[in-house]
Structures are given as C-alpha cells and as structure tokens.
Amino acid sequence: MFLNHLYNIVTANIENKNYFALRKEMIVKIFLHIANIILGSFALINFFIYKKELLASVDMLAALVSLYAIFKLREAKNLSIAILISSINIFIFFLVYIYLNQNSDNGLVWLIFLPIFIIPLNGHNRGLLISLVFYALASFIAYNGIGIWENGAWNFHSYIRFVLSSLVLVYIVYVTELAIFRSNTLLHKKEIKERVYIQKLQAIADKDHLTNIFNRRKITAIIEEEITKANLSSLKLSVAMIDIDFFKNVNDTYGHNIGDSVLIHFAKILQSSLRETDFIGRWGG
C-alpha cells in the first residue's frame, strides 16, 4: 500500500511519452521529494540537537527550495524549470555544506548524491561538466581544510582520497548514463522503424493489391463504423454497389492482363470522383 502510494506520488500526471523526458521527470520528482524530507529532517536535527543554527538554516532553505520546485512542477508542468531549480539547489547546498561541515562525522559521503542526480537530470555531457565544476570547487575548499578539518586530522592523504574517489564516482555515473542513453537511442530508432514497418503492413493489409483501393475486409469495417456514427447522430448514409457489365467478356476476349488494366483504370476514375467523406473499396466475387 505504501509503495503504491509512493509510486503514485512520483509518477502522477506524467503524460509525456518520450522516454528521456519521462525518465528525467521521474528522477526530478524522486529527488525533490527525498530532498525535501531529508533536508527538513536535518534542519530540525541540527537546530534542536546539535545546536548548529547556521547549518540548520542552510538545510531549511534548501528544503524550501525543493518544496517550491515541487509546486512549480505541479502547476506549470515545466520540467526544464524544475531541473534548473533542482540542479542549482543541490549544487549550491553541497558547496555550502562542505564549507560548514568540514567532513565532520564523515559528512563528505553525502556528496555521492550530486552526480547521481545531476548527470541523469542534465544529460551525460552537460551533467558531467556540472559535476566536474562542482568537484573542482569542492576540492579547492577541501584543500584549504588540510590540517584544519577534523581537528587537524584531515591531511593531504585524506584530500587525495577524496579527489580520486570523487573522480571515480563521476566517471562511473557518466559511463552508466552514457550507456543508458545510447542503448535507449538505438531502441527508440528501432521502435520508429518498426512503427513505420507496421504502418506499411497495415496499409498493405487494408488495400486491394490490384486496384490499390480498400479491400473487402477494410471496407466492411468502414461500413460498420459509419452505420454506428449515423445511428448516433441520426444522419443518413448511402452505400453504392457498382458492377462492370459484361466484364467476363473482356477477360475472355482480351485476356486477364487487359481485364486487370480495366479494373485499375476504373478504380482511378472512381477515386477521382470521391469527396473527403467518401470511401471506396473492391468487394470482389
């Protein structure tokens, strides 16, 4: 029950059929709801338990921005604005968090969430650039904390481990997102080709192979549909059955190839006389 409710929160009102936009919308909704809950909780913990008013204020501000983005996405349904707000929010929040936290209680571990959200939301190339800029700034802040953070326990080796692990994390998330993007791009192209092929098959299945007008199966379906429409709207319709007199004599005298040519030409004459609301098909037999 809880999982269904959570799923509805994340996927509600998602109407876009494009896979990439759909995936981004689901990720941004998940991020915003999680960020709102976690940041709000940390704001209360830092304020009432740890008595860190400044850090609590930063947490609460980031939580309110996430809440604003949630309502913005619901009202305007503008995915690009929600992604922009979310990206700026997480970017600035984590930079301020690094500066204030100074890896207290291994606080830097929370930075793993930045590329996990930034890269899928902004695309593999743009997300990679944003992540590298972030970690460049984060590395600069961390470098200035050598010998100061953790009561001096934060040293150059700690700094190098942080930089290398951050680069490896960004690389892994980037490669994963790139693989997902390429595989789904190929899948999307394949689906388009299959859709076109199915449409061609459908057109072939609906048309008479000789005259290229609707066949008996298709014209029967059209008649049933038009009768239903006429009954609902109390409108009149007409169905005309046309036969070519002495057509057998044409086939017997000139051969079936000439007979086929007569049918093709006759079908073209009928098609040229149709209105937009008219349908024509070969009944046969």
Domain annotation covers residue 283: no
In a domain, 281, yes or no: no
Model pLDDT, residue 52: 86
Residue 203 included in any domain: no
Q: Within a domain: residue 202? A: no
Q: Among residues 134, 162, 194, which one ends one of the domains?
A: 194
**In the 8-state DSSP scheme, what is residue 50?**
S
- pLDDT of 87: 92
- Residue 189: inside a domain: yes
Same domain, 177 and 257: no
Residue at which a domain ends, from 194, 223, 253: 194
Residues 122, 190 share a domain: yes
Residues 141 and 212 in one domain: no
- Residue 23 amino acid letter: R
**Domain shared by 57 and 187, yes or no:** yes
Distance CA 255, CA 253 (A): 6
- Could you tell me the sign of the dihedral formed by the alpha carbons of 85, 86, 87, 89, in that order? positive
Whether residue 55 sits in one domain with residue 164: yes
User: Residues near 141 by Cβ (< 8 Å), separated by ≥ 6?
Assistant: 95, 98, 99
Q: Is residue 157 a part of any domain in this protein?
A: yes
- Asked whether residue 189 falls in the same domain as residue 212, the answer is no
Number of domains present in the structure of the chain:
2
- Helical H segments across the chain, by residue range: 2-11, 19-48, 53-76, 79-101, 113-122, 124-144, 156-206, 216-233, 247-254, 256-272
Residue 191 one-letter amino acid? E
Residue 36 shares a structural domain with residue 93: yes
Q: Does residue 179 share a domain with residue 219?
A: no
Query: Domain range spanning residue 259?
Result: 208-272
Q: Residue 103: left if φ>0, alpha if ψ -120 to 50, beta else—which one?
A: left
Output the pLDDT for position 140.
96
Which phi and psi angles does 277 have, rounded to 5°? -95, 0
Same domain, 158 and 248: no
Is residue 282 in a domain? Answer: no
**Per-residue confidence in pLDDT tens, the chain, 285 aa:** 556 655 555 555 555 456 777 777 788 888 888 888 888 898 899 889 988 898 889 989 999 988 888 887 776 567 888 888 889 999 999 999 999 999 998 999 999 999 999 999 899 999 999 999 999 999 999 999 999 999 999 999 999 999 999 999 999 999 999 999 999 889 889 989 999 999 888 888 899 989 999 999 999 999 999 999 999 998 888 999 998 898 889 999 999 999 999 999 999 999 999 998 899 999 976
- pTM listed for this prediction: 0.69
Residue 285 lies in a domain: no
